[in-house]
């Protein structure tokens, strides 16, 4: 790999390494063990429910319990090195115990969205062929239908309130069973998570099992996680993320904030689901590595579910997506009493709108550091250095990362010119699981093609223009939805907005805006007049539709593809 100039390293700050190519640990299991030995009885994970009920596990408790899971998977369930284990649960104390156990067993973790339908689960199970599934009981009724294409021989069932003290665990169970009836009978053979841990413990004690032996041969190049892409632009694919990908990317990201965090003293709020790659790498692994106390929120909707967590814990750091930050800025309880100990917040997953970032900083007095990346890059490629935030940018590439912008022919475009972002670095995936053709299409000459259009500024900062597939062509002019959304989000009458292209005769496509109102009196004419003040005419939405809500992923990312699908169905019907 030829050396390339990296002008952005001048923004890193004193003491920040410009190169992090080699992980500090052989594999994630070694990292987990080492951190637990360092921080011992300190609180590692706290699950906070909306009413304030909570439970906490220390580093050594998580370490010991995950040993039990590892031994159960290998000795009782009979799994081997490299077997896949699907994990399907929301944030809670069971998540790190189960995830760490899978990694210690030398198996490959397959993160699955808990809200998937049985049909979506079946597609992922058929592709990944897991030998075991660890699933929360709320969704276990979908298992029979989800296993029609691939039968999973080992089922482990957990609860949202798992490992909380007996009283709150009992109350939650009663509410779920008798009040909201969210727990349905489980019609497949299974074992409960605490029982699986107990069985694993017996194996360790009775047969003198050394759990570390399961992962002694696992290297940085071995696959640790099959992380499925969001499927926002097509069929979901399993990105093969190695132990090295994940450890290095965690270190690359943490390196840029190292001067502003203290080991063993941070309190991180995790509202994003940890099965999502951003929260998995940065929150679960990164802040565990820092010895932070991680406050886990099982469900951040409605946003009032976060209120007691902010009140009861001195949160110093949190991550989120644009919709989360925007929503909190519109919650009276949050604006009246913003977190006093917050050092900064970080945003990813979707574009952070300038107006939202500005309002957040005005309310909290602390910046949102925007990052950029993809599932396939473990995920972080760029991050805004602390104290050097720049509105409208995604910051600079993290250490040991090269980024260029390419034209349609694959040639590098001049600085300041939009082009497809291509990246290379030690965090880039090994490829797509069992999809060599898709892997070859996305990897060209050592560069990963992101499908995003970006611009490199003269000094090395980058801006995202939009998804390549989301671009709207109006009478031959390129219109990027992010730009239009950013303008509309600054209007005081707009709460949320999504922009797509719709068929429009001679012009080819027209710009259509879907808006959730903050001001009930907002009109279509007012929206268009505002846009005309701030944008050239061909970018102004020709169509405006008001909605009570916009389609979102479970992470809170607005799904333009669902809006486009509505239009496509309408066209087909006509």
DSSP 180-226: S-------S--EEHHHHHHHHHHHHHHTT--GGGGGTT--TTSEEEE
pLDDT at residue 232 tops 50: no
Q: Are 501 and 514 in contact (CB under 8 A)?
A: no
Backbone torsions φ then ψ of 41, nearest 5 degrees: -85, 0
282 secondary structure, DSSP code: I
Q: Long-range contacts: 333-336, Cβ < 8 Å, 24+?
A: 333/304, 333/307, 334/303, 334/306, 334/307, 334/310, 334/363, 335/363
Going by C-alpha positions, the residue among 69, 49, 45 that lies closest to residue 57 is 45
pLDDT at residue 368 tops 50: yes
Give the CA distances from residue 218 to residues 11, 241, 244, 299, in Å, rounded to whole numbers and listed in that order: 36, 14, 11, 34
**Tens digit of each residue's pLDDT (9 = 90 or more) over 266-303:** 999 999 999 999 999 999 999 999 999 999 999 998 99
pLDDT at residue 6 tops 50: yes
Tell me if 112 is assigned to some domain: yes
Predicted local distance difference test score (pLDDT) of residue 183: 83
Q: What is the rounded average pLDDT for all residues in the chain?
A: 93
Consecutive H or E run containing 354 = helix 354-364
Tell me if 341 is assigned to some domain: no
Per-residue pLDDT band at 230 (split at 50, 70, 90): low
Alpha helix ranges (H) inside 72-222: 94-104, 118-128, 143-146, 166-174, 193-206
Q: Where does residue 425 fall: left (phi above 0), alpha (psi -120 to 50 degrees), or beta otherwise?
A: left
The span from the CA of 48 to the CA of 299, in Å, is 10
Predicted local distance difference test score (pLDDT) of residue 2: 47
Q: Are 385 and 252 in contact (CB under 8 A)?
A: no
Instruction: Decide which of 168, 197, 218 is a domain's last residue.
Output: 218
Furthest-apart CA atoms within the chain: distance in Å = 77
Centroid of chain to Cα 524? 34
pTM: 0.87
Going by C-alpha positions, the residue among 178, 71, 186 that lies closest to residue 135 is 186
Predicted local distance difference test score (pLDDT) of residue 235: 62
Going by C-alpha positions, the residue among 226, 219, 278 that lies closest to residue 244 is 219
The span from the CA of 146 to the CA of 159, in Å, is 19
Predicted local distance difference test score (pLDDT) of residue 386: 86
Q: Where is pLDDT greater, at 556 or 189?
A: 189
Predicted local distance difference test score (pLDDT) of residue 233: 42
Q: Write out the residue range of the structural domain in which residue 496 sits.
A: 471-573
Per DSSP, what are the bridge partners of residue 512?
500, 543
Instruction: Decide which of 166, 197, 218 is a domain's last residue.
Output: 218
Per-residue pLDDT band at 504 (split at 50, 70, 90): confident
Tell me if 299 is assigned to some domain: no
Report how far apart the first and last C-alpha atoms of the chain are (Å, whole number). 53
Preceding peptide of 379 cis, ω within 30°: yes
Tell me if 490 is assigned to some domain: yes
**Tens digit of each residue's pLDDT (9 = 90 or more) over 517-561:** 999 999 999 999 999 998 888 899 999 999 999 999 878 889 998
Give the CA distances from residue 330 to residues 278, 303, 306, 353, 436, in Å, rounded to whole numbers and listed in that order: 24, 10, 13, 15, 46
Centroid of chain to Cα 43? 23
Going by C-alpha positions, the residue among 129, 36, 29 that lies closest to residue 79 is 129
Tell me if 75 is assigned to some domain: yes
Least confident of 199-213, 227-241, 395-409: 227-241
Per-residue pLDDT band at 505 (split at 50, 70, 90): confident
- E strands in 257-316: 267-270, 293-296
Tell me if 346 is assigned to some domain: no
Per DSSP, what are the bridge partners of residue 317?
268, 344
Number of residues that make up the chain: 574
Query: Residue 120, exposed/middle/buried by CB under 10 A (0-12, 13-18, 19+)?
Result: middle
Tell me if 559 is assigned to some domain: yes
Of 95-99, 256-260, 391-395, which one has max mean pLDDT?
Answer: 95-99
pLDDT at residue 468 tops 50: yes
Least confident of 15-29, 53-67, 479-493: 479-493
Q: Are 196 and 60 in contact (CB under 8 A)?
A: no
pLDDT at residue 1 tops 70: no
**What is the average per-residue pLDDT within 211-224?**
98
Which CATH number is 113's domain given? 3.40.50.980
Predicted local distance difference test score (pLDDT) of residue 478: 74
Least confident of 13-17, 338-342, 428-432: 13-17
Q: How many domains does the chain have?
A: 2
Preceding peptide of 447 cis, ω within 30°: no
Q: DSSP 3-state assignment of 565?
A: helix
Q: Are 457 and 463 in contact (CB under 8 A)?
A: yes
The span from the CA of 560 to the CA of 97, in Å, is 35
Q: DSSP 3-state assignment of 168?
A: helix
Per-residue pLDDT band at 116 (split at 50, 70, 90): confident
Tell me if 325 is assigned to some domain: no
Instruction: Decide which of 184, 218, 252 is a domain's last residue.
Output: 218
Per-residue pLDDT band at 178 (split at 50, 70, 90): low
């Amino acid at each position: 790999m030829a050396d390339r100039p990296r002008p952005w390293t001048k923004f890193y700050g004193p003491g920040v390494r410009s190169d992090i190519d080699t992980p500090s640990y052989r594999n994630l299991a070694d990292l987990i063990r080492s951190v637990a030995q360092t921080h011992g009885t300190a609180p590692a994970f706290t699950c906070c429910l909306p009413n304030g009920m909570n439970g906490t596990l220390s580093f050594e408790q998580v370490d010991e319990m995950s040993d039990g899971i590892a031994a159960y998977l290998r000795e009782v369930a009979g799994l081997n090195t490299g077997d896949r284990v699907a994990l399907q649960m929301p944030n809670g104390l069971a998540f790190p115990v189960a995830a760490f156990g899978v990694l210690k067993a030398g198996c490959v973790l397959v993160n699955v969205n808990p809200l998937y339908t049985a049909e979506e689960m079946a597609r992922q199970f058929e592709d990944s062929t897991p030998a075991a599934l660890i699933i929360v009981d709320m969704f276990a009724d979908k298992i029979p239908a989800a296993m029609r294409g691939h039968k999973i021989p080992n089922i482990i069932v957990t609860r949202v309130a798992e490992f909380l003290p007996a009283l709150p665990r009992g109350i939650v169970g009663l509410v779920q069973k008798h009040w909201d009836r969210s727990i349905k009978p489980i019609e497949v053979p299974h074992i409960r998570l605490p029982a699986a841990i107990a069985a694993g413990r017996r194996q360790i004690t009775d047969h003198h099992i050394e759990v570390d032996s399961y992962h002694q041969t696992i290297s940085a190049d071995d696959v640790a996680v099959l992380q499925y892409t969001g499927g926002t632009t097509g069929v979901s694919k399993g990105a093969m993320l190695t132990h090295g990908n994940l450890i290095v990317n965690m270190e690359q990201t943490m390196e840029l904030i190292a001067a502003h965090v203290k080991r063993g003293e941070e309190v991180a709020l995790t509202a994003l689901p940890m099965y999502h790659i951003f929260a998995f790498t940065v929150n679960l692994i990164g802040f565990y590595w820092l010895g932070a106390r991680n406050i886990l929120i099982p469900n951040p909707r409605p946003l009032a579910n976060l209120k007691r967590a902010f009140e009861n814990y001195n949160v110093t750091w949190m991550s989120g997506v644009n919709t989360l930050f925007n929503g909190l800025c519109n919650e009276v309880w949050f604006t009246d009493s913003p977190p006093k100990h917050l050092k900064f917040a970080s945003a990813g997953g979707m574009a952070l709108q300038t107006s939202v970032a500005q309002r957040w900083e005005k309310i909290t007095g602390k910046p949102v550091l925007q990052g950029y990346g993809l599932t396939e890059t473990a995920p972080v490629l760029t991050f805004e250095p602390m104290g050097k935030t720049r509105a409208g940018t995604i910051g600079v590439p993290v250490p040991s990362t090269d980024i260029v912008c390419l034209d349609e022919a694959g040639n590098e475009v001049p600085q300041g010119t939009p082009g497809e972002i291509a990246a290379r670095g030690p965090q880039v995936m090994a490829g797509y699981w069992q999809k060599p053709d898709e892997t070859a299409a996305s990897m060209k000459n050592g560069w990963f093609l992101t499908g995003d259009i970006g611009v490199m500024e003269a000094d090395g900062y980058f801006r995202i223009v939009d998804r390549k597939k989301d671009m709207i062509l109006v009478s031959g002019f390129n219109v990027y939805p992010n730009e239009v959304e950013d303008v509309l989000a600054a209007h005081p009458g707009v709460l949320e907005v999504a922009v797509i292209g719709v068929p429009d005769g001679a012009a080819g496509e027209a710009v259509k805006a879907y808006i959730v109102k903050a001001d009930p009196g907002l009109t279509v004419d007012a929206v268009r007049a505002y846009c005309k003040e701030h944008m050239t005419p061909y970018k102004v939405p020709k169509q405006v539709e008001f909605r009570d809500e916009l389609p979102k992923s479970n992470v809170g990312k607005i799904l333009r593809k669902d809006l486009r699908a509505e239009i496509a169905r309408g066209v087909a019907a006509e």
